[in-house]
Amino acid sequence: MIAGRHSDRNVLVSGAASGIGAAIAQRYCEEGARVALLDLNPQAVQAQGEALRAQGFHVAWQAADVGDFEQCQHACALLAEEIGRVDTLINNAGISPKHEGKPAPIWQMSPTEWQQVVAVNLNGAFNLSRLLSPSMVEQRFGRIINMSSVAGSAYLPLVAAHYSATKAAIIGFTRHLAGELGAYGITANALAPGRIETPLLKTVASAANEAVIADTPLLRLGQPCEVADAACYLSAPDSAFITGQVLDVAGGWLMR
């Protein structure tokens, strides 16, 4: 953490009520940013926002389904009234459905579940980028960080086809944004976490997580704060000449 590094920034974090999103919001607050929290769960995002506000941070929050463009549009307008025009967007919201602790194989996956995952993991990133990029273009400055996964680059049996497909698509989406928006002083990068110790880990058997640890050179799970540190780096002045990149936060798992 570098105190004050983001003191001139207005940051929006989606999926901010728990896990990685909550850690990212916390870290940006600690580095001086004004932070907007967006999450589907109204009670959870309010609790997280109030906890940050109790620490003296400048935060606002709204509940919205990131897969719904009109809900995002309404929430972004309200959040901008409270924190100002967003210049740093963290597209973190994502889902990875399980069935009795296991991902559905493609021959059992329902079209409805496929569409739900695409709506949140991929359409959500589009919706918020579409809504917030015009002001970034206008001010000729912006930072967009999209949450991919190691599952977007390699087969990970702990997740299903819809999750891997959307996380791979996020990488392509990020690189396109970097090329399209670079002339306006906007960078776009992606983070690709490995197995991170969040509440989602409880949805799979412990043996499955232990197998991932055994395949990870650092021999441990990652922590949400480590992903948060990477996000803050990619939007900091130190990384102003970095765009279109995918930063793995996976303890070396992809090297196996």
Question: Which residues are the active-site residues?
Answer: 163
Residue 48 φ then ψ, to 5° = -65, -40
